[in-house]
């Protein structure tokens, strides 16, 4: 068995369902790409999915120094307040929002929360990629129940920078926000 097939079978153990789709419909899905090109595309998609998961972990832990490393040096974060460009601007905004939320929660009981990512779509084209995913923030309420405190879409453009996948531009499109009468969310802000 050649090295390319070995890599494909090794990769298949991680993403079997995706590989089956690739093998069943290679002309449609892979647009007549070679097996090496298809494997590179699958590896890139898997890496971006892993980074999306890491993004949510860093968001939840408020680790802003590592959070900004997921963005390209000139990466952009398009949020309700406007466009942020570069690591320093993104880090400052996220740290300030985190501090405001901590101040608002001061003196309140500590409540559980969860930041979820779902409906992930990734399409790689060479050294760039498009991704779309749904974020959902859950927060514990006074009665112990949980409610959605916010939800929306991340619309991303990714690029390879120095051999690593980075977010070139992320647009945050909120579609479900907590009501004005609801308590402040205990989850993340972007």
Instruction: Kindly list the domain boundaries of the chain, sorted by start residue.
Output: 3-177
Of 62, 70, 60, 53, the residue nearest 167 (C-alpha): 70
Q: Which CATH class is domain 3-177?
A: alpha beta
Q: For a pLDDT cut of 90, what percent of the chain falls above it?
A: 55
- β-bridge pairing 113-125 and 82-85: unpaired
Q: What is the pLDDT of residue 14?
A: 45
pLDDT(87) > 50:
yes
Is-contact 18 42, C-beta < 8 A? yes
Q: What is the pLDDT of residue 176?
A: 79
- Distances from the Cα of 9 to the Cαs of 20, 35, 131, 142, in angstroms? 11, 12, 25, 50
In this prediction, residue 22 has a pLDDT band, given cuts at 50, 70 and 90, of: very low
Of 34, 29, 31, 4, the residue nearest 17 (C-alpha): 29
**Which range (30-34, 37-41, 85-89, 107-111) has the least confidence?**
30-34
Tell which phi-psi region holds residue 145, choosing left (phi > 0), alpha (psi between -120 and 50) or beta.
beta
Q: For a pLDDT cut of 70, what percent of the chain falls above it?
A: 76
Of 42, 64, 55, the residue nearest 129 (C-alpha): 42
| CA-based torsion, 84, 100, 67, 10: positive or negative | negative
- β-bridge pairing 164-177 and 71-79: parallel
């Amino acid at each position: 068995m050649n090295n390319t097939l070995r890599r494909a079978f090794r990769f298949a153990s991680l993403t079997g369902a995706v590989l089956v789709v690739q093998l069943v419909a290679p002309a449609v899905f892979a647009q007549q790409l070679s097996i090496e090109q298809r494997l590179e595309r699958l590896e890139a998609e898997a890496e971006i999915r892993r980074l999306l998961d890491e993004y949510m972990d860093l968001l939840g832990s408020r680790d802003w120094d590592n959070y900004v490393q997921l963005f390209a040096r000139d990466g952009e974060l398009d949020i309700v307040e406007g466009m942020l460009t570069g690591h320093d601007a993104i880090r400052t905004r996220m740290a300030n929002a985190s501090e405001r939320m901590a101040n608002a929660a001061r003196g309140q009981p500590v409540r559980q929360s969860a930041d979820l990512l779902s409906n992930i779509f990734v399409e790689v084209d060479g050294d760039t990629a498009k991704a779309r995913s749904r974020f959902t923030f859950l927060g514990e309420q006074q009665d112990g129940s949980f409610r959605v405190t916010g939800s929306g879409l991340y619309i991303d453009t990714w690029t390879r920078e120095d051999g690593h996948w980075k977010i070139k531009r992320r647009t945050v499109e909120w579609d479900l926000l907590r009501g004005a009468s609801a308590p402040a969310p205990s989850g993340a802000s972007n």
